[in-house]
Structure 1
């Protein structure tokens, strides 16, 4: 992964007469060689005999967090590597808290709070001798700034050894109750470097400190409300509205305005909040359809294919969605002739909307089929579109027809803004199936952040506001905040959970949520047993994959192996405040050689620095949604407990065998796993190579790997604490051409970016939906298309919203893409990648019913035939068209034989 500069400043280092401009970044593998040159005698005395480049590389490869200091000219100054367990001989990494720390050091109130969640151990440190003291201070400051959950750093020193003066200045020894210890533990506190912010109620006098802070970022508030808008906002505090200030060194450096006056009904209509009980307390009259998969599963990074059909109500009380003929033909083209019909059970007391004609059915890969198949959706009120009236203008100039398909299509493309404002919002593409939103009637349990600003220097401590904010409203359990989609995600939101919208309106904002329980840091990990069965049943109550999760859980806790294959299986429980809040089921990764040969895993790790038993295969990861943002902490703790370093999770194509899919379930953990690119494999001539041919694992011919190609996600212990940059901008790509797929691949495969709103508009969805077929591929130009196997190894559909439709018009001022069925897709960035398309050509003034000779009317390649084509004239633009041609040929061939 690319290293990012975390902190940059000019600082007076060890020499008073010298000033250096230095920057801190994540350590890279190439730094090991330069670090070796800075090793001194006292380095080996404190950290052991680490005097070889391979030893340094091993430490960096297995570290939780490592930093390098250099300047803009790549001059190397210092390096530090941190772990979540001590480097003390005889102390195990998975139980040091219970068997070592509590027995020797955790006797007083301060040291008893030390655990693997809030503590790092310094395992390696080198610095330029002339600037070692300043480098040590800088590394400590950056570490505390980059990791808000860390409260102290510990240094374990052998007896009778004195660390170098740079470390001795910032680390103080901890008293030990016993004299027979084999080390001296020294501690460095956060409060001495980058302390927790003091949060208090705002005062009018804070305006002098806060007004310049607001104006530095934006002067809109000043222009709108005047110079004293902060003071007026502070004065307006009452029981429902509060203002908080973060104070440091006597100055106000941050501000937060909160209110418990939240329109929760609107939020429930626009956003998927059922997993959080609609932000209300439980009530006996709550109407929740338990037949449907919990909305939490819609947060998983899976693909959604949107098709549009009419909703009809039958006598059985269910809504039956008539499938789009396009999707139905896609199924029949590969031999599945049954009509596609999705049935959704609806609570009897709630009516259905017969006029809703734009309904989405999730047609994602099979192991993700249930992710959105039962989301509870309602159509937002038309009120949300009233602002569109203000944008009324020249309707002809504001709507650009993409293609004059026919008179009717052209008319539909010319929708005016007035018509758009009057339209039902159901015209907008929805990310989840429209059925019925659950109704909650309990007491409101949420408050909102209305205004927030903090100095850039202290923005990593934004989390400190939350405890005081919940103290202001003790009866509220949820904190919500909305931001425009084009606003970058700031550090405060890294502790929040993003809530997906039900409907993508043009002016919609991103909703983030935080639960009061997220303030807890009492986290423990234990091996699962049958006593946890009831807790796991509660966690998976509304999961579509509940049965397979429970079956694997019972196998893991009873026999530690899978009942059908005998494969090793294990399960661990993550407790928060002694309550089971997450569960993970895994096994050892048995096919590591195959993964290494087929995927570019070594873009992230060095295999030679990991043992063969350091790799695990993830089958299930279930988490309480209120702790979703702590997923990476949970994964880190599990890896520490089981002494592993790498975790792998496959994503199978939708046509894969059920045998392959039943052992895996959709997991929120993929938000924190990295997609791994497949390798470009060499095509070997095995007949010529004979005995010199590569092994079966390189060729992908292992007996245990007879299933379909899959996409691979992965993370390692050294990567788990890295934070991705989240981009919420709505990026719409029109056309599943080679260029369109290449753009999606570049965005999805970027390891340090996360795109939440990628959308592909294509008549037949994402290529790769059909099983590989050599005959079908003969109809397509192979040099212009992604092969089916390669697409399945990328699994772009797992990260992209897919709309099965054609673009016919663009409203550029309002940034709306209008589809052929009059649904609308809003966008912030639009990429037109339609590629080369074959079409039936009609000569000038010629029709099929009255053909003219070529001499009479010269043909023109830009003339398209819009009238019904002859049955024996077919165009092949993608794998769906090719499959339909094969179907047509088979049908006609059989007919001729019968004659």
Structure 2
């Protein structure tokens, strides 16, 4: 079917039908009882879903006399020459205009006031409440205004209205959004000053003589520059947009009650707060932008290059208004381009249609450009909390700047994207000079250019280049290759959720190497992808995002700017296969056992053309990056099912160190990490959430509920629509008997408390500087490296130090089994060192045998600090004695609690705090826009369910549950039937409604780590509140305990302990092994 357009043109003389505006009926199955009535409703839905669709075509074979099923609206098309339909193939043509109401589009008159006001009032009553019932008539009465009001009329009544204004505040838009790709919504001017926010210089094309000869044809002329589409942006930042501020204009009306024509109606329609808009009232800390909705050719152009490191003094009132110097510094770091050309845009203020007349909105939108013949851009803003509208599919969302304070999202529509002739074809050698012009707008075109040259010069090339044209000008380019290891992808990724393996052979799968498109044509990404499938015969296209592809310093290609039209595929949980324990005949193939470089996988399928897709622009701010937060983010952004693709454009993560595990770690650093459930280093890299979310490096300082914003680093405000707190608990300094004698800082230099993987990296980088001295007896003297704590992480830290090369005789392990330095809740916590006393005893013996000094039952009482702000001596005490230890470094794994800053922010915000942050069954606090989960929280006392608090359950599962809840809450009602999950619950008899309504968690609590002596430990336990083993064994309902192996001689045989409860269900298991490595 490659040349069916030429077939229609040559045989049937149909020039108006093309791949963009038509679809073919391939299969039609119906009940004969409804032969004359079933098709019109189907076609109406089809035309409404695809805004560019104008024709549906049915090929009718010869000798088919009747086509009643095609309805009376079908047009029978005969080939040229009037050949009899009995002897040749004919066409049945169904046109869009025959299935929709024909509206009369005209300018509004004063008599339309009642109809128009009624239509607008059904969507928003704000204008009517402020200006009365005749504001449309008053606007029309004003002469010389730049505002246009047009209506769609049917049967003498206005059923849809559009209000557009030529007054646009270009300066505000330029400061708030990345308008470079759209040339600032102005015409081209010689004095245009377009900055790049990075220091990178434009890369030239490869100076290859063979390539120069390729394009040395005299008959080629340069392609006209699409200057209004030039340049590109790579990133999507945190969205905080607002409406257009109209320029001042005078009113010629003498009536003092006449509505001011300069008033921006759109601001009144969508404003949710009474406070005025202040451009620099909000400031933003340095952030790493999401790459999800990048829409520019140049993905390096707008990478954030500023980080605010200055802080101001604390204020009890938290009125943290930045100084003018700080504001100027922020604006200086982000270079704002200057476009002095003529204005080239108009603002869409109101677009409303009556019920059952939504199709009129698109017709009005197309007609709006006729009112502004000299303008090419239609600008519109929409609140981020509003559900997605159908007509927004034709618009392109503009990326905000890092310092943007615009409270709404900005969308644009270009004149060229309306009813233009679009085409996609395979590139040929004659396209070369035009492609050079196209690629010259990139920062790094060399790699793509080499792929293109290979595709047109070498007939056996692995690459294939396709181009998309608009009115015969190149507006998009894609490079496809055939090399795909599908066996590896099937084994390591959950492709089975999206495709049928039996239907995609080796010759039908390709790889998207590059995909570039001008930003104003972003709406045609899906069309471009569909045509790539059609022209290449690839039913499946894959795209891999490597670890370095998100780093502008290392990547050689831009991210695909169609990535949000692709489906993210989650990685599988892969087990370890050890040849020692698996027979050769049963060993899996290499595609299963081998591990290639880590990458995130995206796919495009033929069926994606009919897959429903929505974009959610709600501003979701997530505080924390622990296991609960990671489960939430994975479910939110990668939880789409095969029937609905949901893209969350505006998710922001706030964390001091960004997302976890995004740096290569050494073996020692890997040992110090205690793995819990699915949160493994390899899996997090495969998910690569940096593609989907924005990252702000900072600490939560305050929550301003009235402004719906949080204070970051005590300096800047970050607005939100929904705030989700996953702060969790951190290790804190133990309470000392005496105050520190010499206090040079709040934290001595040689005291470490490891809470994140970034802390691990910083600690071991610092340890690396002293590594050769820590093995020197003269340097160490009588000092020790002290590990203090009774958490399992403290034992893993001890093993990591030994692996790092620290002699065990220089290590001291202090295990405070007494509780005088810990809260009363600590013994109940599920993260005590070892729940099995026999395993705890075995580990103690291993530690002593290695030569480590073990102090069991001691607590930290005091320390001395030297003049260099280092702890030089540590005093530990037990019930009967006191010991002083010289200290080189000390690692503290003592009490865990909510940080003081987090508690202060929660408390001053007025959120209910009862030992922990109080939430209800839907994870909501007493503020309907603030949610929380994880160890930070507890259920309200009305549930009487302290035993169901999140601290006792699998953190990953808790995060997944709140992620599913958010998807259900934010997906519009009309799309919920396509979601694969539901949160409906029933209430069993005998259980209260409050307790039954709490979410249920079933996944086990999995803990694995490496202990001293290279002993591998694994524990799997039933979720729920921890009960000491000694107490459980005294109960008659304890069940049966199965034990194998010898924990005292692990070098001979491992130790395994299995507990089966009285219901014959496995309740817990734990094991020690010296040989097999564990991978969760």
Alignment partner of 1:420 out of 321, 326, 330? 321
Q: What does 1:790-801 correspond to in 2, within 5 Å?
A: 790-801=683-694
CA separation of 1:452/1:720 partners in 2, compared to 1, >3 Å: closer, same or farther? same
* Cα drift, residue 605 of structure 1: 2.1
**Contact kept? 1:672, 1:720, Cα under 8 Å:** no
Show the counterpart of 1:104: 11
Show the counterpart of 2:49: 146
Q: What does 1:579-590 correspond to in 2, within 5 Å?
A: 579-590=473-484
* Cα drift, residue 530 of structure 1: 3.7
Alignment partner of 1:619 out of 490, 513, 532? 513
* Cα drift, residue 717 of structure 1: 1.5
Q: Matched residues in 1 for 2:421 and 2:550: separation?
A: 41
Q: Matched residues in 1 for 2:631 and 2:747: separation?
A: 33
CA separation of 1:296/1:632 partners in 2, compared to 1, >3 Å: closer, same or farther? farther
* Cα drift, residue 300 of structure 1: 4.4
CA separation of 1:361/1:725 partners in 2, compared to 1, >3 Å: closer, same or farther? closer
Per-residue CA deviation, residues 676-707 of structure 1 (Å, 9 max, x unaligned), is: 11122243343313222111112235xxxx4x
Alignment partner of 1:470: what SS? helix
Alignment partner of 1:666 out of 552, 559, 563? 559
Show the counterpart of 1:322: none
* Cα drift, residue 275 of structure 1: 1.1
**Contact kept? 1:761, 1:805, Cα under 8 Å:** yes
What TM-score does the superposition give when structure 2 sets the normalisation length?
0.60
Q: Matched residues in 2 for 1:599 and 1:744: separation?
A: 18
Q: Matched residues in 2 for 1:221 and 1:287: separation?
A: 40
Alignment partner of 1:633 out of 512, 520, 527? 527
Per-residue CA deviation, residues 402-457 of structure 1 (Å, 9 max, x unaligned), is: xxxxxx9996264544x538777849999xx9331111111111111122211242
* Cα drift, residue 624 of structure 1: 1.6
Show the counterpart of 1:82: none
Stretch moving more, 455-464 or 650-659: 650-659
Alignment partner of 2:38 out of 135, 141, 151? 135
Verify: 1:210 aligned to 2:112, yes or no.
no
**Contact kept? 1:428, 1:825, Cα under 8 Å:** no
**Contact kept? 2:39, 2:71, Cα under 8 Å:** no
Q: What does 1:432-581 correspond to in 2, within 5 Å?
A: 434-503=333-402, 508-559=407-458, 568-581=462-475
Show the counterpart of 1:847: 739
* Cα drift, residue 263 of structure 1: 1.5
Show the counterpart of 2:720: 827
Verify: 1:809 aligned to 2:708, yes or no.
no
CA separation of 1:248/1:735 partners in 2, compared to 1, >3 Å: closer, same or farther? same
Q: Matched residues in 1 for 2:155 and 2:34: separation?
A: 28
Report which of the two structures shows the higher radius of gyration computed on alpha carbons.
2
Q: Matched residues in 2 for 1:583 and 1:676: separation?
A: 24
Show the counterpart of 1:85: none
Verify: 1:262 aligned to 2:168, yes or no.
yes
Q: What does 1:322-337 correspond to in 2, within 5 Å?
A: none
Higher relative contact order (CA 8 A, sep 6+): 1
Alignment partner of 1:684: what SS? coil
Per-residue CA deviation, residues 230-274 of structure 1 (Å, 9 max, x unaligned), is: 333333364622111123344322111111111112211111101
* Cα drift, residue 877 of structure 1: 1.5
**Contact kept? 2:62, 2:90, Cα under 8 Å:** yes
Alignment partner of 2:159 out of 248, 253, 259? 253
Verify: 1:887 aligned to 2:765, yes or no.
yes
Show the counterpart of 2:931: none
Verify: 1:600 aligned to 2:490, yes or no.
no
* Cα drift, residue 189 of structure 1: 1.7
Show the counterpart of 2:90: 184
Alignment partner of 1:715: what SS? strand
Verify: 1:877 aligned to 2:755, yes or no.
yes
**Contact kept? 1:498, 1:512, Cα under 8 Å:** yes
* Cα drift, residue 796 of structure 1: 0.6
Verify: 1:95 aligned to 2:3, yes or no.
yes
CA separation of 1:579/1:372 partners in 2, compared to 1, >3 Å: closer, same or farther? closer
**Contact kept? 2:230, 2:518, Cα under 8 Å:** no
Q: Matched residues in 1 for 2:139 and 2:231: separation?
A: 39
Runs of 5+ in structure 1 lacking a partner?
A: 1-92, 306-355, 380-407, 562-566, 851-864
Alignment partner of 2:601 out of 691, 708, 712? 712
CA separation of 1:477/1:372 partners in 2, compared to 1, >3 Å: closer, same or farther? same
**Contact kept? 2:152, 2:159, Cα under 8 Å:** yes
Verify: 1:228 aligned to 2:134, yes or no.
yes
Q: Matched residues in 2 for 1:692 and 1:748: separation?
A: 37
**Contact kept? 2:620, 2:722, Cα under 8 Å:** yes
**Contact kept? 1:649, 1:712, Cα under 8 Å:** yes
Q: Matched residues in 2 for 1:838 and 1:512: separation?
A: 45
Alignment partner of 1:451: what SS? strand
CA separation of 1:635/1:357 partners in 2, compared to 1, >3 Å: closer, same or farther? closer
Q: Matched residues in 2 for 1:639 and 1:370: separation?
A: 22
**Contact kept? 1:524, 1:576, Cα under 8 Å:** yes
Q: Matched residues in 1 for 2:621 and 2:329: separation?
A: 14
CA separation of 1:136/1:372 partners in 2, compared to 1, >3 Å: closer, same or farther? closer
Alignment partner of 1:463: what SS? helix
* Cα drift, residue 526 of structure 1: 2.4
Per-residue CA deviation, residues 453-487 of structure 1 (Å, 9 max, x unaligned), is: 11242325533223321111111111101122212
CA separation of 1:890/1:378 partners in 2, compared to 1, >3 Å: closer, same or farther? closer
Q: Matched residues in 2 for 1:681 and 1:362: separation?
A: 30
CA separation of 1:659/1:695 partners in 2, compared to 1, >3 Å: closer, same or farther? farther
Q: Matched residues in 2 for 1:760 and 1:586: separation?
A: 34
Show the counterpart of 1:335: none
Q: Matched residues in 1 for 2:625 and 2:104: separation?
A: 52
**Contact kept? 2:235, 2:290, Cα under 8 Å:** no
Alignment partner of 1:836 out of 729, 738, 755? 729
Q: Matched residues in 1 for 2:200 and 2:550: separation?
A: 24
CA separation of 1:588/1:462 partners in 2, compared to 1, >3 Å: closer, same or farther? farther
**Contact kept? 1:734, 1:832, Cα under 8 Å:** yes
Q: Matched residues in 2 for 1:730 and 1:522: separation?
A: 36
**Contact kept? 1:242, 1:472, Cα under 8 Å:** yes
CA separation of 1:547/1:778 partners in 2, compared to 1, >3 Å: closer, same or farther? same
Show the counterpart of 2:192: 286
Show the counterpart of 2:658: 765
Q: Matched residues in 2 for 1:120 and 1:203: separation?
A: 39
Q: Matched residues in 1 for 2:354 and 2:502: separation?
A: 44
Runs of 5+ in structure 2 lacking a partner?
A: 203-228, 240-281, 780-1080
* Cα drift, residue 507 of structure 1: 5.5
